[in-house]
Structures are given as C-alpha cells and as structure tokens.
Amino acid sequence: MTITTEVCVVGGGPGGRALALALVRLGRQVVLLEQRTGGARAFRGESVSPDGVRLLAGLDVLDRVREHTHQVRRLEIADGGSRVLDVRFETFPYAYRHPVELAQPVLLSALADAAEEHGGCTVLEPASAVGLLRDGGAVRGVRAKTPDGVVEIRADVTVGADGRYSAVRRMSGLGAVRTPLERDVIWLKLPFPAAWDRRTYRVRISAGRHGLFLPSTDGTLRVGLNIPKGGLRELRSGGIGQLHARLAELAPELEREAAEGISDWSDTHLLDIFTTDVRRWSAPGVVLLGDAAHTLSPILGQGVNHALADAVALAPLLAEALDAPRSGRRAALGAAVLAFQRDREGAVRRSRGLQLRQERMFSLSAPPAVALRRTVYRALNASPALQRRVLAPAYFPGRQTGPGARPARTEHRTEQRTEQRTEQRTEQRTEHQTEQRT
C-alpha cells in the first residue's frame, strides 16, 4: 500500500501533533505516524511554560484544554531548609505569564481533535517507521510497519518528531552528540500534602542533593528525585526505606505521604538524564524537531515547550516552500528547514545553558560552594528585574524583553477573565479527586 502526501510526520507527541495541526490550518496535507495506541506512560512532561500557553492559544487549542489545566503562580527554592528564592510569575510583563500543568494525554487529544476538524491529516496508529524512502540522495518518505502490513508514505518532506531516541534521526544519518549528565531522576507521585500551596513549584536542595516537587492535574504531587548517574542500584540495595529517607532529607513534612504513596520500587520510574546536540537538524527531504533535534534535561520543564515552539516555527516555512513550483520545490524546502534551525537554535541553546548552570548549582556540596549558591539565590530573590532576566530564556523564550514586551491590556484582561471562569471549576475538580482518594 502506498500513500502520497505533502508532509509525513513521524511521532505523535506534542511536537508532532502541533506541527500536523499547524500545517492543516495552512491548507497542507499531512500523514502522521504514531507508534503507541491507548495507554500512556506513567510519567510524561506535564509542565507547560507561559510561552507554551501562548503557543497553544495561537493554535486555538488553549480554550479546548483550559478547564483541564492547573495554573502555577510561584516558583520556590529552599536550600538547607530555608527559602532562598521566591518567584511570583504575576510580576512578568506578558499576557501569558503563568505556567500550567496539563496532562499530556489531554493535550494530545485536543491537538488531534483540532487537526481532525480542519481535515487534511491522516493518522496511522499504531505505525512504526522502519525505513526511509530515498530518491537521488534525498529522503522521499517513510516505510512504516502497521497491523495491516507495511505501508509506504511518499512525501515531499519527512519530519522526525519521534523523541530523544529518534529512529528518523538514526536512519537519516544526522549525527548526534549525546552528553550524559551527572544525575538521573526517579519520578514518583505522592498524595498532595494539605499544608502545601497547590499553585507552587518547589525545588528542595540539601548539600549536593535536590528534588523537584510539582503539582499535578490529578491532585497528586509529582516528585523528581535526583540521584547520581547510575546510582539506582545502590539506592535500591537499602530497600524502599532508603528512598523514604532520601525524600525526608529534602522534605521532612512529606514523611506521611511518602509512607502512604510509595510502598514498592514499582511505584517509581527512572529517567536517564542526558542532552543530545544535533549539529544539523536536516538533510535533503527530512528535518527533525523537538527532542529528536535537541534533547534537554527535565529542569524547568523545557521539552514540551520547545517542541511546541519548533512546530509553530516550522509549519509556515514548510507551507510556503510547498507552494513553490515542482521544479524548485526541493531547493525551497532545503532553504526552509535551514531557516527553521537558524530561527530556533538560539532559544534552545539559551535554555540548555540555563539548565546546565542550574544542574551545576544544584550539585554543589562543599560548604563554601553551598554558601555561594545560597548567596546567589538570595541576590536573585532580592531583584525582580534580575529574576525576569535570568528566567526569561526558560519561561518566555519566544518573547522580547524591554518596553515593547508589555502586551496590550485587552489581551491581558481576556486572559484574566478566562482564568477566573475556569479557576473555581478546576479547584472543585481537584478537591473532588482528593476526596475520592481518601
């Protein structure tokens, strides 16, 4: 069986789904391959930065998911038991200034529904890319394995949106440099402590150890506990009590929740932390986006947001190139994907740099270094202007700074009114979920 289309997108995560939607909104024909069906992974990125919220609004998806979002208003870092940084997102001069938590299955469903309503997107699921079709040295589509057999999708351009272990990247020969970071992350969920504010991201640091404590849309607390690279075996050798003790070191007030929520190692999930640097994101007929092009660490929750930004940046470039006459289309597409990388790699580089700096800061353990870290965070805490400057690359990478950055008042009022309409319903739903668990 052979299908002919303009764009073949491999991967149905946030980046792939957003790209498919953006392209059909521009009148292009898309085939999207998604490997999984049904069931979701236990831990996926749920944090959407303020800039990601803005991008969802631009795709006309935000209103579809808003009642399922959980708005976050503060970022708090405590070091050695004392708060050293308290960031209030309301102080940032943008219309979309608050991050939200959004369960990824809800986001993916909304993107898929919107694309289906526009028409022009064919989804093959489950379908795995097992080879690339080539013609004259250029990629001309994908050979995919489906339950009904092998399907050939012939396309003007193939997009690898298939994640950190991208098969498209490997098959296209685009070289990648993988850099393991010094730590891995154990993800787990706990009952949300009654005394904690549900609108706050928390980072807890103790000497060279740290953990992330994030509210989830299901009313639980999502915890990312950092351990030395390859250190899971040693931690498990001490039994589940060793994990409880590690949590208690960072957040003593969670002792009861840890005992109730984690009874076995099967209640946890290990994420191998590394970054991937792809020097060139494209080859003739193929381009990468999201984690396939630039795997980031989970610090500050950047993966989903950069995937969305990639999709929104790439779609109009591809759409314009596909309007070129057949004789010049290959050259136009080649120029488009190079322009895409030039447009996006600066923001990715800045986010990666901020993540790596935070990673180093969190891992400091010698007393003089710990004292310096606390001094730096307290200085940042004392200056809202410095907070905006330092955090903008993570939370507002698509926005300009300076006097021209402040949005129109009408845009901000619209966001406020919509938030007020949904906030009460969201909190009622969370309270109901909590009552059901107890």
Q: What is the mean pLDDT of the chain?
A: 88
CB 217 within 8 A of CB 102: yes
CA–CA gap between residue 79 and residue 373 (Å, rounded): 9
In the DSSP assignment, the letter for residue 375 is H
pLDDT of residue 36: 78
Q: Does residue 143 contact residue 132 with C-beta atoms inside 8 Å?
A: yes
pLDDT in tens, 184-220: 899 999 999 999 999 999 999 999 899 999 999 999 9
Handedness of CA 251, 254, 259, 265 (dihedral sign): negative
Contact 59, 18 (CB under 8 A): yes
Token pair for 148: 């009904």
Say whether pLDDT at 113 is over 70.
yes
Burial 380-399 (b: 16+ CB within 10 A, else e): bbeeeeebbeebbbbbbbbb
- In this prediction, residue 159 carries a pLDDT of 98
Percentage of the residues of the chain whose pLDDT score is greater than 70: 88
Give pLDDT tens digits for 342-376.
Answer: 999 998 888 888 888 888 888 889 999 999 999 99
Per-residue model confidence (pLDDT) at position 57: 96
**CATH class given for the domain over 182-271:** alpha beta
Average pLDDT over residues 64-68: 95
- 351's enclosing H/E stretch is helix 326-363
What average pLDDT does this structure show over 16-25?
Answer: 98
DSSP letters spanning 290-345: GGGT----TTTT-HHHHHHHHHHHHHHHHHHHHTS-HHHHHHHHHHHHHHHHHHHH
Q: How many C-beta atoms lie closer than 10 Å to residue 277's C-beta? A: 16
How far apart CA 353 and CA 337 sit, in angstroms, is: 24
Superfamily name with CATH number, domain 2-41+103-179+276-360: FAD/NAD(P)-binding domain (3.50.50.60)
Dist. CA 290–CA 271, nearest whole Å: 18
Asked if residue 41 has pLDDT above 60, the reply is no
- The radius of gyration computed from the CA coordinates of the chain, to the nearest angstrom, equals 22
C-alpha dihedral, 387 to 393 to 396 to 401, nearest 10°: 70
pLDDT at 301: 65
**Interacting residues of 214 by C-beta distance below 8 A, sequence separation 6+:** 46, 47, 101, 201, 202, 221, 222, 223, 224
Same-fold call for 2-41+103-179+276-360 versus 182-271: no
Tens of pLDDT, residue by residue over 250-284, are: 999 998 999 889 999 999 999 888 888 899 999 99
Residue 344 backbone phi and psi in degrees, to 5: -105, -25
Domain ranges of the chain: 2-41+103-179+276-360, 182-271
Report angle CA 12, 433, 76 to the nearest 5 degrees: 75
> What is the per-residue pLDDT for 405?
37
- Token output for 159: 């997009």
Structure tokens, 192: 């949300």
Cα separation, 268 vs 179, in Å, equals 24
Q: Quote the pLDDT of residue 407.
A: 41
* pLDDT confidence of residue 414: 41
